[in-house]
Chain A
Amino acid sequence: MMKTVGKDLVSLRIEIIGISLIISSLAIVLSNWKKVPVSSHQAIVSSLVGSGLAFGVSIDVDTLMKIVESWIISPIGAFFLSIFVYRVLIIGISKIPPLKAERCIRYLLLLSGSVIAYNTGANELATALGPVVYFGLLTPLQAAFMGSILLWIGAFLLSGRVVETIGKGITALDPFSGFAAQFGAGLSVLLFTTLGMPVSTTYCVIGAILGVGMLKSTKTAKSPFLKRIFLSWVITPFVAMVLGYVFARAFLF
């Protein structure tokens, strides 16, 4: 994962890394503040490409296309995987008493949360730190250690606002839908991570929640929120790339 973003995509220079990471972190903090889930992958990859273009370094178009494809395919994969997980789960729990089902789902939610947390380290963190490691600023171990500490601080300080949007904004989640969505998204991210593709956990979770929501009823998915999320999905890479380019040009000037 670190290799795809840190080595294959753009021929790195320290200025490109600096500009890209500053723009990405600003975009993520601002969108979290506005309660809009934004993909850190999209912000990092797009700002790397934008600033790379400004510096005139070579960009591997094949790698970029593969990454963009995975941005589209992974939420669709999560959509169908979550439907599959939900169907299997419902068949399984219909045969056990409700309170035993409640206990069961508590363990399953812990499991799916763990899968997502693992993916965040394996995929999200790797995307963010790939350029830093491949430029030799940190060893993979140092990057993993520092990244996990900062990940915890971020989750502690800022995650609450996005949790609200994801948990309540798109569709009302019962525990079983919550598990199916989270586990479906986790499986999708795990699959793409294994293939070495940087995919967005955010959009996989959204695709999965939408899958479960639509399975239960198309009316349960709240369209204004989806519109906002879809816009952010399209706008984030574009804005990050433009900002990366503009900042890099300003830096060169």
Chain B
Amino acid sequence: MFKGIRKILVGGEKEKEILDLIREHIEILSEAAETLKIAIEADDPSLSYDICELERTGDIIRREIALRLYEGAFLPAVRAEFYRFAELVDESIDLIEDTSVYFNMMSNINPEIRDLCLRIAEINCKMVDYLYHAFDSLEKEADLSDKTIKLRAKEQEIDGLKREIHSKMVQIDIKSFWEGYILSNFLDNLVNISDKIEDAADVIQILNVSLR
């Protein structure tokens, strides 16, 4: 009974656990994005195994978040948004994993587009940092708009790079169907990571608005 009264008066333990789990989840995403960047930079496809490991940890955290939310953390009106956020972070990690798997299957990245791919990987890392700060601001700041605007600007930068890659891609000499297929999937996944991160930032903005 005293525990129940304490929960009403003090409360917030489940919520704190979820916030910590989400922070941990974003940190996993950051680590995966950073590892992918290093893999492209150092031409080291073996790092994809580390990314697969991070993806599994991300899955475990997402399930844990779902379980804690189901146990009654936060108001029901915002629980769905918290889970949607965790799902989007998880989908971003999945995309990084897929990118790294295709990278592992490629002999190397064509020099014509290598720097552009590396630039995208760097921007992805930056975007994850911004995402972390935006999420952190939910607890610390009243206005989050500048944080999400920064993210959107980075995503637009990636869209520009994507167009540049596409224009160069058509000039690359492809020797077999599978070489083209793998390259195409590698690039698709690489440029889609930022879309997912942007979607996750949008959920932060929705949470912000729904609690106003």
> What is the distance, in angstroms, from A171's C-beta to the closest C-beta of chain B?
14
A95 touches B142 (CB 8 A): yes
B140 touches A97 (CB 8 A): yes
Is the C-beta of B42 less than 8 angstroms from some C-beta in chain A?
no
- With CB as the reference atom, state the residue of chain B lying closest to A90: B212
A97 touches B8 (CB 8 A): no
A106 touches B211 (CB 8 A): no
Is the C-beta of A227 less than 8 angstroms from some C-beta in chain B?
no
- With CB as the reference atom, state the residue of chain A lying closest to B141: A97
Q: Which of A99, A110, A176 contacts B212 (CB 8 A)?
A: A176
Q: In the complex, A102 Cα to B77 Cα: how many Å?
A: 10
A106 touches B142 (CB 8 A): no
Contact of A99 with B11 at beta-carbon distance under 8 Å, contacts A90-B212, A106-B75 already known: no
Chain B positions 187 through 212: 1 when the CB is less than 8 Å from some CB of chain A, otherwise 0: 00000000000000000000110111
B212 touches A97 (CB 8 A): no
Residues of B within 8 A of A34 (CB): none
B11 touches A97 (CB 8 A): no
Chain B positions 16 through 31: 1 when the CB is less than 8 Å from some CB of chain A, otherwise 0: 0001000000000000
Residues of A within 8 A of B11 (CB): 103, 106
Q: In the complex, A105 Cα to B207 Cα: how many Å?
A: 14
Contact of A98 with B212 at beta-carbon distance under 8 Å, contacts A103-B12, A110-B8 already known: yes
B75 touches A96 (CB 8 A): no
A98 touches B77 (CB 8 A): no
- With CB as the reference atom, state the residue of chain B lying closest to A109: B75
Q: Which of B137, B142, B207 contacts A96 (CB 8 A)?
A: B142
- With CB as the reference atom, state the residue of chain B lying closest to A178: B77
A99 touches B138 (CB 8 A): yes
Q: Which of B15, B19, B139 contacts A97 (CB 8 A)?
A: B139
Is the C-beta of A174 less than 8 angstroms from some C-beta in chain B?
yes
Q: Which of B74, B77, B139 contacts A174 (CB 8 A)?
A: B77
Interface size on A, residues (CB 8 A): 19
> What is the distance, in angstroms, from A87's C-beta to the closest C-beta of chain B?
13
- With CB as the reference atom, state the residue of chain A lying closest to B12: A103
Is the C-beta of B113 less than 8 angstroms from some C-beta in chain A?
no
Is the C-beta of B78 less than 8 angstroms from some C-beta in chain A?
yes
Is the C-beta of A175 less than 8 angstroms from some C-beta in chain B?
yes
Contact of A101 with B8 at beta-carbon distance under 8 Å, contacts A94-B142, A175-B77 already known: no
The dominant DSSP class at the A interface is: helix
Chain A positions 157 through 197: 1 when the CB is less than 8 Å from some CB of chain B, otherwise 0: 00000000000000000111000000000000000000000
> What is the distance, in angstroms, from A215's C-beta to the closest C-beta of chain B?
14
Is the C-beta of A100 less than 8 angstroms from some C-beta in chain B?
yes
Is the C-beta of A93 less than 8 angstroms from some C-beta in chain B?
yes
B142 touches A102 (CB 8 A): no
> What is the distance, in angstroms, from A117's C-beta to the closest C-beta of chain B?
15
Chain B positions 85 through 118: 1 when the CB is less than 8 Å from some CB of chain A, otherwise 0: 0000000000000000000000000000000000
Point out which of B74, B144, B211 has the most chain A C-beta atoms below 10 A from its C-beta.
Answer: B211
Q: In the complex, A174 Cα to B75 Cα: how many Å?
A: 10
B74 touches A102 (CB 8 A): yes
A99 touches B139 (CB 8 A): yes
B212 touches A93 (CB 8 A): yes
Q: In the complex, A105 Cα to B138 Cα: how many Å?
A: 15
> What is the distance, in angstroms, from A170's C-beta to the closest C-beta of chain B?
16
> What is the distance, in angstroms, from B81's C-beta to the closest C-beta of chain A?
11
A175 touches B75 (CB 8 A): yes
> What is the distance, in angstroms, from A97's C-beta to the closest C-beta of chain B?
6
Q: Which of B15, B140, B144, B211 contacts A101 (CB 8 A)?
A: B211
Contact of A102 with B212 at beta-carbon distance under 8 Å, contacts A96-B142, A110-B8 already known: no
Q: In the complex, A9 Cα to B35 Cα: how many Å?
A: 80
Chain A positions 68 through 103: 1 when the CB is less than 8 Å from some CB of chain B, otherwise 0: 000000000000000000000010011111111111
Chain B positions 130 through 148: 1 when the CB is less than 8 Å from some CB of chain A, otherwise 0: 0000000111111010000
A sample of 24 inter-chain contacts (CB < 8 A) reads A90-B212, A93-B211, A93-B212, A95-B142, A96-B142, A97-B139, A97-B140, A97-B141, A97-B142, A98-B142, A98-B207, A98-B211, A99-B139, A99-B211, A100-B139, A101-B212, A102-B75, A103-B11, A106-B11, A109-B75, A174-B77, A174-B210, A175-B77, A175-B211
